[in-house]
Structure 1
Amino acid sequence: MDRADIVVLGTFVADLAFKAERLPVIGETLLGRGFAMGPGGKGSNQVIAAARAGARSAMITRVGQDAFGEMARQTWSGDGVNTSHVLIDETAPTGAAFIFVSSETGDNAIIIESGAAANLSAADVRAAAQLISGAKVFVTQFEQPIEAAIEGLRLARSHGVTTILNPAPALPVEASIYAHCDYVTPNETEAATLTGIDTTTEEGAVRAAARLVELGAANALITLGSKGALLHGAAGTHFVPAFRVAKVVDTTGAGDAFNGGFAVAIAEGRPPLEAIRFGSALAALSVQKPGTAPSMPTRAEIDAFLRAKG
């Protein structure tokens, strides 16, 4: 059935993750300390996070007719994701990502090639109008063409669907996009890029959030890593602390875990601050495992974690 509570427009890419002490400089070769290949892409990570957290979830994207595309289909099938609007693109390969993971800190640096998803169009989004209009939450990012993201946000908003824009990677965009957003969810680096405001201080983060609201977003939700998250909008300004974890293994995908979890909680009718806490739990659990999609927790793990935290 062409129904879902959460619809995600975005990319799938095959994650090629290399672990080393540091990135090499130009002309240098380093021996790695580990390698893993698995499913990734911000949109795909977010839809898997949402599905494992208990929501009926659907993906809108394009993949190639290749081995990575087959990886995508198997991944979504395993988590029960609706793929009725995943298109097979015969002119481009499925996307891929180079991921460097520090063996010392777990921090990461990433290069993305969107591949077939770069061909997503506004027409592709309109073809999924029935799916989008029946959802509770619509989520998108900037790894696929911005025109497709705008059309998805506009279409969802016109049907009363809550819209979440995760503006990653941060790109120059027309301010008009924000008028279609119930929540804009950049991390602190992306918020600084989008607004030109230094977000390294609490005051700066608030100013950047206020600027995003001035540009038209109903709410700005800036994730601040280990410092938590900042929500600014109609309900005022609130800082929500992050959960502490014993050991960070890999931060790749933590933002996607947060966005997927936040979307699920909003779809369940939870208030925004409670939804942030729910999303933060997903992020905290995800960083304790390697990988992106494979690190997304189940609903049982999330509920147990939140009970333990009180």
Structure 2
Amino acid sequence: MKGKVCVFGSFNLDITAILDRFPMPGESLVAKSSKISAGGKGANQATAALRAGANVHYIGKIGEDDFGCFARRHLKKVGFNAVTILSSSERATGNALIYVAGENAENMISVDPGTNMIVTKEEIEKCEPAIKCADVVLVQLENNLSAITQVLAIAKENNAFTILNPAPFQKIDSELLSKVDLLTPSETETFLLTGQKITDKASAEHAADCLHQKGARKIIITMGAKGSLLSEPCSKIWIPCFPANPIDTTGAGDAFNGALAAQIANGNSIKQAAIFGSAFAAVSVEYIGAACTTTYEQAIERMSLLSDISTN
């Protein structure tokens, strides 16, 4: 039986340009290639969770515009077990402009969140049945905080395991953290949440302790090629980064979070889920675009490259 993951989060239409380097202010550069694709942290993570082996219900909001038509076609094509599409004519569908450049395929992103930021209380109330029946509820910060808080509250009232990926950064308080079972910030988001800059393992562990003091129960700090730190108040475990030949790192964090949620919903420990998520994300950076194309089988194969890691 597949575990049930409910993902509430953003949909964006992504316009990606591949460059040799990032342009300087005022400079125009000729791109090596470009692509229009589906994105948004919510849709990306929901897709990753589906491909990583979960039963997924995605909830998101789009505009009544051309980008919204693209979103409907894409979400239908993905093959989610269920989709709840909220819509509005007040704002445009969310969209993002993405530059990917250099040998390490680093990215710069500008996002217009559009309808993602105007989800209403009444709309979330209509989604309660989907949230209530989930084993894991996964959210990010690319929607209005009032809606995110409402989703997490419903999830906790119904004993779902809750994951918050605090990206893109918004200020969050201890009340919101109290509804979160697992917080998954990047190095940058950890710095913005704590004021602690991460330069090595010791500083990462110190930053994690600061987050525990703010109310976070369990934390995974993702640090790209350096791996990630799984921290609980009484233990800390380092999760390795798996080998990869990066082409586009845009969706790596989303791939990790979606795969993580799927594995937890399927009954694996957080450590097991994090190791699988790391392998899943390593495969994802070898493809262009933020929308996940990685498969469960590819992640398992990638895990075998570091077979000495204990997953117990």
TM-score normalised to structure 2 length: 0.93
Aligned to 2:58: 59
SS of 1:291's partner is coil
C-alpha distance in 2 between matches for 1:153 and 1:137:
11
CA contact under 8 A between 2:10 and 2:60: conserved in structure 1? Answer: yes
- 2:63 equivalent to 1:73: no
C-alpha distance in 1 between matches for 2:96 and 2:61:
16
C-alpha spacing 1:4/1:230, structure 2 compared with 1 (3 Å)? closer
C-alpha distance in 1 between matches for 2:144 and 2:198:
27
Partner deviation per Cα, 1:112-160 (whole Å, 9 max, x = no partner): 1111111112332222111101000001111110111111111101110
C-alpha distance in 1 between matches for 2:101 and 2:26:
20
C-alpha distance in 2 between matches for 1:13 and 1:44:
8
**1:204 CA displacement:** 1.3
Partner deviation per Cα, 1:264-292 (whole Å, 9 max, x = no partner): 11001101111101111110010111111
- 2:31 equivalent to 1:20: no
**1:220 CA displacement:** 1.1
C-alpha spacing 1:240/1:104, structure 2 compared with 1 (3 Å)? closer
C-alpha distance in 2 between matches for 1:152 and 1:127:
11
C-alpha distance in 1 between matches for 2:81 and 2:125:
17
CA contact under 8 A between 1:248 and 1:287: conserved in structure 2? Answer: yes
Of the structure 1 ranges 29-38 and 116-125, higher mean CA displacement relative to structure 2 is found in: 116-125
- 2:52 equivalent to 1:36: no
Aligned to 1:267: 265
**1:235 CA displacement:** 5.5
**1:176 CA displacement:** 1.7
Aligned to 2:310: none
Q: How many residues align?
A: 306
Could you tell me which runs of 5 or more consecutive residues in structure 2 were left unpaired when the two chains were aligned.
308-312
**1:177 CA displacement:** 1.0
Of the structure 1 ranges 276-285 and 60-69, higher mean CA displacement relative to structure 2 is found in: 60-69
C-alpha distance in 2 between matches for 1:4 and 1:76:
20
- 2:299 equivalent to 1:302: yes
CA contact under 8 A between 1:4 and 1:58: conserved in structure 2? Answer: no
Aligned to 1:289: 287
Give the counterpart letter for 2:101 in structure 1.
S
Partner deviation per Cα, 1:206-255 (whole Å, 9 max, x = no partner): 1111111211121011001111110111561111111112x211101000
Of the structure 1 ranges 273-282 and 14-23, higher mean CA displacement relative to structure 2 is found in: 14-23
SS of 1:168's partner is coil
C-alpha distance in 1 between matches for 2:280 and 2:158:
28
Could you tell me which runs of 5 or more consecutive residues in structure 1 were left unpaired when the two chains were aligned.
none
Give the counterpart letter for 2:42 in structure 1.
G
C-alpha distance in 1 between matches for 2:103 and 2:240:
25
Of the structure 1 ranges 212-221 and 268-277, higher mean CA displacement relative to structure 2 is found in: 212-221
What's the Cα RMSD here? 1.7
**1:106 CA displacement:** 0.6
Q: Percent identity?
A: 35
Partner deviation per Cα, 1:143-188 (whole Å, 9 max, x = no partner): 1101111111111011100000000012222222110110000011
CA contact under 8 A between 2:99 and 2:109: conserved in structure 1? Answer: yes
Give the counterpart letter for 1:140 in structure 2.
V
CA contact under 8 A between 2:260 and 2:276: conserved in structure 1? Answer: yes
C-alpha distance in 2 between matches for 1:170 and 1:134:
28
C-alpha distance in 2 between matches for 1:70 and 1:54:
27
SS of 1:180's partner is coil
